Structure 1
Amino acid sequence: MDSATPATRLKELGLADGGTVEAVRGFRATQTDIVEMNLNVPLEELGGTEVPRNSALAVLQLVRGERIR
C-alpha cells in the first residue's frame, strides 16, 4: 500500500515537518501490517489466496513470539 497520499495530506495540513513527511512517504504497508493493524483494504488490492483474518493474526502472533519459524 502506497503512503504518498497520506504523506501529502500531512504536509498540506501542517501536521508534519519535511523529514517526517519523507519518512511516511518511504513506508510501504505489507499484508502483515494490514492484518495486525486491522486496516480496511479493498479485496481487489490484496489479490491471491487469502486466509481468514483471525487465522492469519494467530500465525503472526506465534511467529512474533518465536513459537514457530
Structure 2
Amino acid sequence: MILDQATIAIRVLTAFIEYRKAKVASLTIYELSATTRISKLQLQPVLSALVTAKLLGFTKNPRSEQTRYQLAGGA
C-alpha cells in the first residue's frame, strides 16, 4: 500500500512518542519500518523532511553506519 507523506510522517511521529513513553530514546530506520509497517523506501524521504523541519534529530554510529533518529528538543 502506498501512503502519502503526511500519513507516513504522522505514523513516524506517533511511533516516536510511543517509544519515548517506554524510555526508548532513538530508533533506526529498520526499527521504524518494523513498527510502522512502512517500507524503508517510503520512510527515507519522510525522515529527511522531518530532520530538515527540525522535528527529528539523528546520530550516526561510525561502527555500524546505522543512523539513529530521535525526537528533537523537548518534543
Q: TM-score, normalised by structure 2?
A: 0.28
**Which of 1 and 2 has higher RCO (CA within 8 Å, sep 6+)?**
2
Give the structure with the larger helix fraction.
1
Larger Rg, first or second structure (1 or 2) = 1
Give the structure with the larger strand fraction.
2
